[in-house]
Structure 1
Amino acid sequence: MGLFSRKPKETARPDGALTFLTEAEAQQLRGLMREAFAERGLEVVVHPDHAVDAAGRRFGFWNAGAACHGQPRSTWPGLVREHVRRVLDDLDAPDPFQGLSPDDARRSTYARLYDLASLPTAEHHPYREFAPGLVEMLALDLPETVTVFPHEAVSAAGGWEPLHAAGVENLRRLPTEELVPVPVDGGGTFTILLGDSVHTGSRALLMPGLAADVAGETAGAHGWLLSVPNRHQVVWHMVRDMSVVGALNGMAGFAVRGYEDAVGPLSPHVYWWDGQHYEQLTQVHDGRIVIQPTERFLAVLEQLAAG
């Protein structure tokens, strides 16, 4: 038996495009989306994760699926209709960046994490890779909506660097709502930061300072484990000894559940900071959590085991 458990998850087969839904759920969602657009007078061509209308506009299914996920199936038609209504109404709404001064933009901007696979028009927005599958973008947070900055709006606000600096500083000012240490086999813990803010998960961008500021946990020579299951959770473990094995096992299960069972899913994976970038340590295959340590991470485990 190896160091890491590979516990099967007894669920129906996940959909290939909308991975937090089963194949049957995703098919139902696609049908409901087609019907909801038709009710608003739009005929759309349905693809696995988006629809396209006659004008070539793309409408992603990710947010609608997230709203329906975990809710009774009987409520899905109403949830989808409301989602489509908001999307189409937003198309007719004034441009939130129109007339926005650079100072106003900086006050309302947050650096924010997104799942790259859920962004069919990512090329229209400036972004940086944060970890495999996760990207950092700039989001304008207004009372009625949160909107990702397109390239032209970033340029109008003074460019990426000053806007990004303001977005990171606004993340630092968020209050710490709930902090939960979770004991694991081997005597260690991993820590969960929870919050109602849609930007809580994006506070992962502040690591390792975040852990030091809110939990008094400082990084050592071997980095840390990190997961960002959804927009309301950040999870970490500082790697210091062999308790990292239990932490990785525990975080792997938690990340998948938090990704599948919450609004605003980001990533089901656990990552390790190796001193320069994040390496992905987990995979999900046919509903199974599979831990796949990289060579560099295995080398660290050997060092820790040797004392």
Structure 2
Amino acid sequence: MGIFRRRRRDDEGAGPGRPDPAAAPVVPDEALPFLGVEDAQHLRGLVRTAFAERGVEVSVHAGHVADDSGRQFGLWNVAASCHQDDRGRAAWPALVGTHVERVLASMDAPDPFADLSPEQAATRTYVRLYERDAIPRLDGFPHREFAPGLVEMLALDLPDTVAVYDDARAARLGGTDALRAHGLANLHRQPVEQLERLDLPDGGGAFQVLLGESVHTASRALLLPRLATELTGHESGRHGWLLCVPNRHQVAWHLVRDATVVPVVQAMARFAALGFGDAPGPLSPHLYWWDGGGYQQLSRLDDDGALSIVVGPEFQLVLEELTGGS
């Protein structure tokens, strides 16, 4: 398997909010690596100012800010939104202000579970994927491991955000198993916003990508392989499928059938790493393979951003069978 490095958006060419390729290389910020150090510091200043203008003093850290009560507010999502806006820095103050207002409104809002009936909960509950490392603790919250580095939890859909169920709320509103069944059914009823087939050059295979503005888009990975069959007409075989969920707005898969799995593995691994690195709601930079009983992680990112493929014995047997041992 080939080994390659993550390509940053910095080298895609000049444009609003992007450096000139002819200029000196931009040093990436350690906490917000899709921004240069200077841009990241500028963003942190904007966030601090936005909170102050709304009466909240915060201390600024590399990846978050914190108020006097200990509440922490992450910077990744707002930084990714600014990074992706083609208008450049001029648009950042408004983007940051809107983000801070939304965050503060959600913190000060009344408990969304307080007056909820089990019947109402059934229509608004979703099973949702979360990055494991982004959750300080899981004790007291219904959850399951979905794949290495990813957990599924129960979330109540609100107009502008979601609220996660704890054990007590889940018990009062029907129980974890019933709510999970409702959550999967609600995921299945989500509209398909955009489905793309990404074809590799020279007949090197293809993989499917489902994209959407919904924060539940990536969580539809929980519906595989049924999702693949319904959207493409193809059923999974005994070799399973490849999966990546870079961020909450993307889920990609490939049904493993033939030797094209080799170039597809590399393409999807790169897709996952890039999609994780510069989008709101990051989930996982890794590629996974369904082995018939669970997901195995196939990719690895080193501290310097180098991306490599790591094949276990089970997947190695699949590759040898499909490629004739070559």
TM normalised by structure 2 equals: 0.84
Q: Indicate the residue corresponding to 1:67 in structure 2.
A: 81
Counterpart position of 1:53: 67
Q: 2:277 aligns with which of 244, 260, 263?
A: 260
Q: How many residues align?
A: 305
Q: Deviations over 1:31-63 (max 9, x none)?
A: 332332233333323333223222222222233
How far is the alpha carbon of 1:8 from its aligned partner? 5.1
Partner of 1:305: 323
SS in structure 1 opposite 2:192? Answer: coil
In 1: Cα distance, 2:136 partner to 2:40 partner: 17
1:131 aligns with 2:123: no
Aligned to 2:7: 9
Contact (CA 8 Å) 1:226, 1:234: kept in 2 or not?
yes
Report the residue type matching 2:188 in the other structure. Answer: R
RMSD: 2.4
SS of match in other structure, 1:69: helix
Q: Distance in 1 between matches of 2:98 and 2:108?
A: 16
Cα separation, 2, equivalents of 1:296 and 1:32: 49
1:260-279 pair list within 5 angstroms: 260-279=277-296
> What is the rounded CA distance, in whole Å, between the counterparts of 1:248 and 1:33 in structure 2?
39
The corresponding residue for 2:313 is 295
Cα offset for 1:187?
4.1
Q: Report sequence identity in percent.
A: 53
In structure 1, stretches of 5+ residues that fail to align are none
Relative to 1, partners in 2 of residues 1:156 and 1:14: Cα closer, same or farther, differing over 3 Å? farther
Unmatched tracts of structure 2, length 5 or more: 11-25
Given that 1:181 and 1:192 are in contact with CA atoms closer than 8 Å, whether structure 2 keeps it comes out as yes
Q: Please, what TM-score do these two structures have when normalized by structure 1? A: 0.88
**Which of 134, 138, 147 is matched with 1:118 structurally?**
134
Q: Give yes or no for contact 2:6–2:274 (8 Å, CA) kept in 1.
A: no
Question: Does the 8 A contact of 1:116 with 1:122 survive in 2?
Answer: no
Q: Is the 8 A contact 1:220 1:240 kept in 2?
A: yes
Alignment of 1:89-168 (within 5 A): 89-120=105-136, 122-123=138-139, 125-168=141-184
Residues 155-164 or 103-112, more deviating = 155-164
Q: Please tell me whether residue 36 in structure 1 is matched to residue 34 in structure 2.
A: no
1:263 Cα deviation from its structure 2 partner: 3.2
1:267 aligned counterpart, secondary structure: coil
One-letter amino acid of the counterpart of residue 116, structure 1: R
Structure 2 matches for 1:180-195, cutoff 5 A? 180-184=196-200, 185-195=202-212
In the alignment, the residues of structure 1 paired with residue 28 and residue 238 of structure 2 have an alpha-carbon distance, to the nearest angstrom, of: 38
For 1:106-142, what per-residue CA distance to the aligned partner results, in whole angstroms no more than 9, with x for missing partners? 1111111122233346556432221122221112113
Give the deviation of 1:157 after TM superposition. 1.0
Distance (Å, rounded) in 2 between the aligned partners of 1:124 and 1:65: 30
Deviations 1:223-266 (A, max 9, x none): 11001122222111111221101111221222233323433332
Q: Secondary structure at the match of 2:227?
A: helix
Alpha-carbon distance in structure 2 between the residues aligned to 1:278 and 1:29: 37
